[in-house]
Amino acid sequence: MSRLSSCFERVAAENRAAFVTFVTAGDPTHEASREIVLGLPAAGADIIELGMPFTDPSADGPAIDKAAQRALKAGAGMHRTLDIVRDFRKQNDHTPIVLMGYFNPLYAYGVDRFCTDAAAVGVDGLIIVDLPPEEDEELRLPANAAGIDVIRLATPTSDDHRLPTILDGASGFVYYVAVAGVTGGKSATTEDIKAAVTRIKSHTDLPVAVGFGIRTPEQAEAIGRVADGAVVGSAIVSMIENGLDETHMPKDGMVKDVLDFTKKLADGVRAGTKG
C-alpha cells in the first residue's frame, strides 16, 4: 500500500482528518527549509506538501509567490528540492511527501527523468497546478508507472459535468480548492465546504483534502470534521516570512516558531474528530 493510502487509512481509524502542511522547498534558505521539513512530522504533519519554486506562480497569492522568489534567490531548484526529500527519507519512511508546483521546471528537468528521480528519493505524489486533466497525460503516465500519484484538483467551479473529467485518472487523493482564487486569499464557509466534499465523494472513493483559506487552529478543526484532510500553506509560509531579518536571513528561533505554530494547527485538526 502507498504511503498516502496508509496515511489516510490510519487517520480514518483515529476518526479524524489528515493534517497536510505546505512549505516552499528552499525557503528562506536550503538549510533552514530542510530543518523545517524534517521537523514537520514531530509538529503533527501527517502529509507534507513541498512547493517546487517557480518564477511565475500565477495561481499563488503574495505569501507563496514571495516564498518562491526568496527560495530561488537563495539558490533553490529542482535538484535541491529532491535533495530535501532524500534527506527527509533517511529519517522518516512513513510520512507521505507530495511535490506541488508548476509544469515548466519539471518539463525542463525532463518528465521521465524527473519521475524516476522523484520516485527514487521517496516522493509519493505530484500536484501540478497548471496541468489540468486535458494536458496531464504526459506526466501522469510516467509518474504512475514510477509509483507516484498525480493528485487532481477540484474547485468551486467544478460542476457535476466537470467532476468526472477531473476524477478519471485521479489517484492518491482529491485536493478540493475551497475558494475560487489564489492561495492565501478568502476563506469559504464550513457549510459550503461540507456540501462540496459530499458532492465530490458521491463521485469517488478517494479521500478528499481541503485547502485554500485555512489559517487558524479553529478553522483547521472545523474543516477536519467535514473532510479527509485539511491543508495549511500560506499561514505557515507567512510565519517563515515573519521570522526573517531585512536581508531575508532567518532570525534566531524562526524554525522553532514555525514548528510551534504548525503544532497548534495540528492540535486543531486532531480536536476535530468526526461525530
Partner 1 sequence: MSLNSYRTGPDEKGHFGKFGGRYVSETLMPLVHQVEKAYREAMQDPEYLRELDELNRVYIGRPNPLYYAERLTEHLGGAKVYLKREDLNHTGAHKINHAIGQVLLAKRMGKTRVIAETGAGQHGVATATVAARFGLECTVFMGAVDIERQKPNVFRMKLLGAEVKPVTSGSATLKDAMNDALRDWVTNVHDTFYIIGTVAGPHPYPMLVRDFQSIIGRETKEQIMHLEGRLPDSLVACVGGGSNAMGLFHPFLDDTDVKMYAVEASGHGLDTDKHAASIAGGKPGVLHGNRTYLLQNEDGQITEAHSISAGLDYPGIGPEHVWLHEAGRVNYVSATDDEALEAFQLLCRCEGIIPALESSHALAQVIRMAPSLPKDHIIVMNLSGRGDKDIFTVADALGAEI
The site for partner 1 (CB under 8 A) is made up of 54-61, 65, 69, 72, 77-78, 102-109, 129-132, 134-135, 152-159, 162, 166, 177, 180-182, 185
Task: Output 39 or 61, the one with its CB closest to partner 1.
Answer: 61
Evaluate whether 41 touches 251 at the Cβ level (below 8 Å).
no
Say whether 107 sits in a helix, a strand or coil. helix
Rounded to a whole number of angstroms, the minimum distance from the CB of residue 132 to partner 1 is 5
Task: Return the bridge partners of 176, or none.
Answer: 154, 210
Rounded to a whole number of angstroms, the minimum distance from the CB of residue 103 to partner 1 is 5
Backbone angles phi, psi at 171, to 5 degrees: -150, 170
Three-state SS letters, 246-270: CCCCECCCHHHHHHHHHHHHHHHHH
Rounded to a whole number of angstroms, the minimum distance from the CB of residue 263 to partner 1 is 31
Task: Output 39 or 105, the one with its CB closest to partner 1.
Answer: 105
Rounded to a whole number of angstroms, the minimum distance from the CB of residue 28 to partner 1 is 17
Strands of the chain (E only): list them: 18-24, 47-51, 97-101, 125-128, 149-150, 152-154, 174-177, 208-211, 229-232
Pairing of strands 18-24, 47-51: parallel
Task: Output 48 or 52, the one with its CB closest to partner 1.
Answer: 52
Backbone angles phi, psi at 229, to 5 degrees: -160, 150
3-state helix, strand, coil in the chain (%, to 5): 50, 15, 35
Rounded to a whole number of angstroms, the minimum distance from the CB of residue 178 to partner 1 is 11
Cis peptide before 28 (omega within 30 of 0): yes
Active site residue 49: yes
Q: What is the largest CA-CA distance in the chain?
A: 51
Task: Output 178 or 232, the one with its CB closest to partner 1.
Answer: 178
Task: Output 14 or 135, the one with its CB closest to partner 1.
Answer: 135
Cell 532567518 sits on residue: 250
Catalytic residue among 49, 117, 149, 228: 49
Catalytic residue among 27, 60, 149, 221: 60
* Distance from C-alpha of 56 to C-alpha of 220, rounded to nearest angstrom: 29
* Distance from C-alpha of 104 to C-alpha of 132, rounded to nearest angstrom: 14
Rounded to a whole number of angstroms, the minimum distance from the CB of residue 56 to partner 1 is 5
Task: Output 86 or 263, the one with its CB closest to partner 1.
Answer: 86
Q: Which residues are catalytic?
A: 49, 60
